[in-house]
């Protein structure tokens, strides 16, 4: 896919209004290099033979976001200008935006955050910094697997969707796993069809990934109580660093390898040689 050509098409589309078209009915829009420029996927699919589905862009490193998640004023202003109508809330909640993150810039940001966190930890300013690592781990999962992040209908903030299937994302931030395992609420697993665990080292790089079917977790790990503990010794054979189990769910291997720790990247690189 020629990204420059794609972004040029998006810029050209945004130069003129399209009030008489039906492009305003599209549910997927692609953001250009200029954050104020967008184009409907239906329009782009007519220009590019290899772009027919959001997954075609996810494979190229794009990330799928629900408009309802960000309520991007730039998109709503663009939509109103393009189609001469307001973007109503009941319409916007069904719209998704595909954008290409600057991965190199994000990587530099992660390295800088690691440096800052080290200083704050040394001075005992940060005693519990799980909020940022959790959000970063969820972002990693979103990029790697092409998840759509949407506002939760529950109290917990956000849910994730993988091609129509609810997905539970759990982030574990530590250089070593807890002997007790990764703790997940049973109710969350029961509501989801997939369960993804992203293990992040203290330097914020991915040290391991585990993608599980929720039914498998329910059959194999459920015991009494409201939580389930997924221990390394029980999950080891399903880690990406040790097997190909569900590795076919990866849509953006470049992001996985870029944000992986060196040792983890070496373990999994062979699986993606044909895609590089």
Task: Please tell me the predicted confidence (pLDDT) of residue 1.
Answer: 64
pLDDT tens per residue, range 49-68? 999 999 999 999 999 999 98
pLDDT in tens, 181-202: 999 988 889 999 999 999 999 9
The answer, yes or no, to whether residue 160 has pLDDT greater than 70, is yes
Same domain? For 254 and 177 the reply is yes
Is residue 157 predicted with pLDDT exceeding 70?
no
| Percent of the chain topping pLDDT 90 | 70
Q: 77: pLDDT confidence band, cut at 50, 70 and 90? A: very high
107 in the same domain as 49: no
Do 108 and 91 share a domain, yes or no? Answer: no
Considering the domain architecture, whether residues 64 and 25 belong to the same structural domain is answered as: yes
Phi then psi dihedrals of residue 155, to 5 deg: -90, -5
pLDDT band at residue 72 under the 50/70/90 scheme: confident
The strand pairing partners of 221, in sequence order, are: none
In total, how many domains does the chain have?
2
For residue range 113-125, what is the model confidence (pLDDT) as tens digits?
999 988 988 887 7
First-to-last C-alpha distance (Å) of the chain: 13
The structure tokens listed for 222 are: 């459920």
Asked if residue 209 and residue 168 are part of one domain, the reply reads yes
pLDDT at 76 over 80: yes
pLDDT digits (tens, 9 = 90+) for 80-96: 999 999 999 899 989 99
Higher pLDDT, 29 or 135: 29
The residue out of 99, 123, 151 marking a domain boundary is 99
Whole-number average pLDDT of the chain = 90
Query: Is 90 exceeded by the pLDDT of residue 275?
Result: no
Is the pLDDT assigned to residue 242 strictly greater than 80? yes
Residue 154: per-residue pLDDT: 60
Res 221: pLDDT = 80
Residue 127's pLDDT is 65
Q: Look up residue 162 and give its two tokens.
A: 């993988």
Strongest mean pLDDT among 40-44, 171-175, 232-236: 40-44
Asked if 19 and 137 sit in the same domain, the reply is no
Instruction: Output the pTM of the full model.
Output: 0.84
- Tell whether the model's pLDDT for residue 129 goes beyond 80: no
Same domain, 190 and 214: yes
Asked whether residue 156 carries a pLDDT value surpassing 70, the answer given is no
Compare 5 and 155 and report the one with higher pLDDT: 5
Query: What gap in Å lies between CA 20 and CA 183, rounded to an integer?
Result: 53
Same domain for 129 and 243? yes
Give me the DSSP letters along 49-104. Answer: TT-SSHHHHHTTT-EEEEHHHH--HHHHHHHHHHHSS---HHHHTT-EEEE---HH
Domain hosting 43: range is 3-99
Verify that 86 and 210 share a domain, yes or no: no
């Amino acid at each position: 896919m020629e990204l420059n050509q794609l972004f040029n098409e998006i810029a050209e589309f945004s130069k003129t209004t399209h009030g008489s078209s039906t492009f305003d009915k599209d549910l997927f829009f692609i953001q250009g290099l200029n954050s104020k420029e967008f184009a409907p996927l239906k329009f782009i699919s007519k220009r590019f033979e290899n772009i027919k589905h959001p997954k075609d862009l996810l494979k190229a490193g794009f990330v799928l976001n629900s408009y309802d998640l960000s309520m991007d004023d730039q998109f709503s202003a663009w939509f109103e200008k393009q189609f001469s109508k307001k973007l109503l809330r009941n319409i916007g909640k069904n719209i998704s935006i595909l954008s290409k993150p600057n991965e190199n810039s994000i990587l530099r940001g992660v390295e800088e955050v690691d440096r800052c966190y080290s200083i704050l930890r040394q001075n005992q300013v940060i005693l519990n910094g799980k909020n940022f690592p959790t959000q970063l781990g969820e972002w990693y999962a979103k990029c790697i697997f092409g998840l759509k992040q949407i506002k939760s209908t529950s109290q917990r903030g956000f849910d994730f969707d993988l091609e129509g299937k609810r997905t539970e994302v759990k982030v574990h931030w530590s250089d070593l796993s807890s002997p007790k395992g990764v703790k997940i609420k049973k109710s969350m697993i029961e509501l989801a069809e997939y369960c993804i665990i992203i293990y992040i080292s203290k330097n914020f790089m991915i040290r391991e990934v585990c993608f599980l079917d929720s039914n498998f977790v329910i059959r194999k790990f459920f015991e009494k109580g409201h939580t389930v503990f997924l221990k390394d010794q029980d999950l080891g054979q399903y880690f990406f660093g040790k097997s190909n189990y569900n590795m076919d769910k990866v849509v953006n291997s470049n992001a996985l390898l870029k944000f992986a720790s060196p040792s983890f990247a070496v373990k999994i690189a062979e699986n993606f040689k044909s895609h590089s």
